Structure 1
Amino acid sequence: MSHGSSPAAWTAVLVSLAGFLIGGIALIPEPNWVLFTIGVVLAVGALPLGKVMSVAGYGTSRVKDH
């Protein structure tokens, strides 16, 4: 069983983490709202990106191996 360990899942997680990191850094010294918005778009856009990659064949199959 792979537990979702696929290129689609890893890409979605890494893009989401990058978005949170960019958004968080943008708020530290003096709020940079443009950079914060870029971070939010990345973090939210990671979900559809993972879904598209999964549909394209980079996800795990849902067939259970017994």
Structure 2
Amino acid sequence: MSSSGHGHTPAAWTGVIISFIGFCVSGAFIVLANVPGFWAGIVLTGLGAVVGGLMRMAGLGQEPKRSAAPRPQAQAQPQEG
């Protein structure tokens, strides 16, 4: 799977890191029973998705796959004999 290059871009890494930090902030504040801190973490998680999307549009993400025409099959050569 890793040969496909899925997620190996600056946009993907940045978006995931920001979202992960937001997830950790939300988790910490929910344990501390701090509602505003929890919602700040949720906003940070969503911000990670927005930043990753903006970076992708700026050219730092993976190019979308285009549906390629099917490859023609190799024709078997007739054997003499």
TM-score calculated relative to the size of structure 1: 0.83
Q: Which has the higher contact order (CA 8 A, sep 6+)?
A: 1
Higher Rg of the two aligned structures: 2
The residue aligned with 2:19 is 16
Cα distance in 2 for residues equivalent to 1:3 and 1:40:
25
Question: What residue number does 1:53 align with?
Answer: 55
Runs of 4+ that moved beyond 3 A: none
Which ranges in structure 2 are unaligned for 5 or more consecutive residues?
A: 67-81
Could you state the TM-score of these two structures normalised by the residue count of structure 2? 0.69
Number of positions where the alignment pairs a residue of Structure 1 with one of Structure 2: 63
C-alpha separation between the residues in 2 aligned to 1:39 and 1:62? 30
Q: Deviations over 1:7-63 (max 9, x none)?
A: 00001111111011000000113x111211110001112212111000111111235
Q: 1:27 maps to what in 2? A: 30
Gaps of 5+ in 1: none
